[in-house]
Every structure is written in C-alpha cells, then in structure tokens.
C-alpha cells in the first residue's frame, strides 16, 4: 500500500501552492472505498512521473477547511496544481489513462 504524504491546512501553502514542481492532490478520507480501488493506479502514476510531479493527499475529515475552500463534497477528487495555480480537477474514481491525460496536458505549463 502506498502512503502518499498527507498535507493539512498548515502545510498546503508551502507544499502545494509554493511547490517547485506540479502537485497532484488527492482529496480522500478513511471511509472512501473508491479511493482504495483507485490507489494502485495513482501509485503507478506517482512512480511513473516521480521527480516531475508530486502526489500528496488531503484528508477531508482532518482538513475540512481545505475541502470547503476547494468545494470538495465527495471523494475521491484529484486536483493538479502547477506553479500554485489550479490547472485541472477530476471528480470520482479515475484510471491511469485519465490521470496521464491530465498530467501530459498540464506538464508543459510547468516548464
């Protein structure tokens, strides 16, 4: 099982908005079954794009303010930030292909 680093309100600015490389944020929580189904796909993507894209998670129960700020009402949701700017948002369970689509479409913006 892959344990993506969890980012809360205190570190979101530095680790996501201020990051040097693009960041994918998975909004999740302990009760999210689809997140568990999706996890191996997200892990493959994190491994594939290691060094180019960072993957972190936000627990919506432990960080309700972040969920509120980004209007997250259901999980899983993936957000891609590039240079502190929100570039893409995917709601619901996603596949490797959809994640790769999102990354490839926005990686150019990181250059």
Helices (H), the chain: 9-12, 33-48, 64-69, 96-107
Contact criterion met (CB below 8 Å) for 95 and 39: no
Is 110 one of the catalytic residues?
no
Q: Which stretch binds other proteins (CB under 8 A): 7-15, 22-30, 79-87, 92-100?
A: 92-100
Q: Is 37 in the site for other proteins (CB under 8 A)?
A: yes
Neighbours of 68 (CB within 10 A): 11
Q: Is 111 in the site for other proteins (CB under 8 A)?
A: no
Q: Is 29 in the site for other proteins (CB under 8 A)?
A: no
Query: What is the C-alpha separation between 43 and 57, in angstroms, rounded?
Result: 12
Catalytic residue IDs: 32, 35
Positions touching other proteins (CB under 8 A) are 1, 33, 36-37, 39-41, 43-44, 47-48, 71, 73-74, 91-93, 95-98, 100-101, 104-105
């Amino acid at each position: 099982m892959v344990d993506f680093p969890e980012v809360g309100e205190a570190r979101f600015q530095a680790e996501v908005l201020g990051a040097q490389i693009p960041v994918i944020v998975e909004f999740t929580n302990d009760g999210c079954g689809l997140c568990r189904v999706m996890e191996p796909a997200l892990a493959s993507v994190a491994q594939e794009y290691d060094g180019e894209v960072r993957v972190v998670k936000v627990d919506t129960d432990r960080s309700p303010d972040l969920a509120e700020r980004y209007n997250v009402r259901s999980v899983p949701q993936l957000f891609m930030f590039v240079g502190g700017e929100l570039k893409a948002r995917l709601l619901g369970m996603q596949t490797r292909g959809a994640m790769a689509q999102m990354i490839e479409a926005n990686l150019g913006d990181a250059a």
